[in-house]
Amino acid sequence: MSLAGRAAIVTGAARGIGLTLARRLVDRGMRVTLLDRDPAVQARAESLGSLARGRVVDLRDIDETRAVAEATIEEMDGLWLLVNNAGVFEKTPLLEIDPSAWDSMMEINVRSMVLLIQAAAPSMIAGDGGRIVNQASMAAKLGTPGEAHYAASKAAVVALSRIAAHEFGPHQITVNSVCPGYVLTEMGADTRDPRQIAEWTATSPLGRLATPDDIAAAVEFLASDEAGYITGESLNVSGGACTW
Ligand SMILES: NC(=O)c1ccc[n+]([C@@H]2O[C@H](COP(=O)([O-])OP(=O)(O)OC[C@H]3O[C@@H](n4cnc5c(N)ncnc54)[C@H](O)[C@@H]3O)[C@@H](O)[C@H]2O)c1
């Protein structure tokens, strides 16, 4: 019933939620490969000890992503858990969104997940099943003005996860998405003046913003054997902000 010894990939793990999650999984004894375009991912992985390994990859690059994912899965001799966490956030009024910015948002926030899933699912199917957790956002369900392309990309993540759950369910692979609220990471730091922090805090009945550990704990649960009958869901970890 333990995650110890099992293999995991976490994307976007050089910092923020991904790094916190990778640390948590290593603490549970998992073998974890951290993927990120930021070369700092290698030093961050080393700091987590011998169960962690870092690899640099730009998830917008299709060939590079496929090659790194396949090499990683082979090296780890299969995979129990894939966490598609990497993502980018940008606030732009709808009338000013350049088509290239739209495409870039979709490439990293959604298409990269498809590539990783295509690389990972065959080995899970050949093994004992597995877990896929995709990082969506409260923006998929609520969103605010100025985040049309971000919110649309995250709504696509929710839909992608639901369909993947149906396609892979017969192979005992669960696929879920997580919808965090406002998490205190470097993402969106430039949209975080005291007024905005107060506004976001007020959306949670708990009266606080999320920590990366709040999100990592939910992902760990979805990765566990105990969550084996939960699939196709989008789990809000938004401090109640999605319940108004
Ligand atoms: N922070 C929040 O408030 C919040 C809220 C809801 C959802 N999320 C989602 O959670 C996930 C993690 O967010 P975070 O706050 O930790 O963000 P972050 O910006 O701190 O970290 C994101 C990581 O993804 C990596 N990354 C970005 N583009 C990449 C690419 N092309 N190839 C490889 N790596 C790439 C970055 O280098 C970075 O290390 C994202 O998908 C984000 O949309 C965050």
In a domain, 107, yes or no: yes
Summarize pLDDT for 134-179 with one digit per residue, the tens: 999 999 998 889 999 999 999 999 999 999 999 999 999 999 999 9
Summarize pLDDT for 205-237 with one digit per residue, the tens: 999 999 999 999 999 999 999 999 999 999 999
Q: What's the order of all strands across the beta sheet hosting 52-56?
A: 52-56, 31-36, 7-11, 81-84, 130-135, 173-180, 234-237
What is the CA(163)–ligand 1 centre distance, in A? 23
In a domain, 196, yes or no: no
How much is the pLDDT for 169?
A: 98
In a domain, 153, yes or no: yes
Kindly report the CATH number assigned to the domain that includes residue 24: 3.40.50.720
In a domain, 207, yes or no: no
In a domain, 22, yes or no: yes
In a domain, 140, yes or no: yes
Residue whose CB lies within 8 A of the most ligand 1 atoms, among 9, 10, 17, 85, for a mutation test: 17
In a domain, 193, yes or no: no
Residues with Cβ within 6 A of ligand 1?
12, 14-18, 36-38, 58-60, 85-89, 108, 135, 137, 180, 182-183, 185-188
**HSE (side-chain half, CA atoms, 13 Å) at 230:** 18
Instruction: pLDDT band for 244, please (50, 70, 90 cuts).
Output: low
How much is the pLDDT for 144?
A: 86
In a domain, 206, yes or no: no
Summarize pLDDT for 82-133 with one digit per residue, the tens: 999 999 999 999 999 999 999 999 999 999 999 999 999 999 999 999 999 9
19 lies in which domain range?
A: 7-184+212-233
Number of domains in the chain: 1
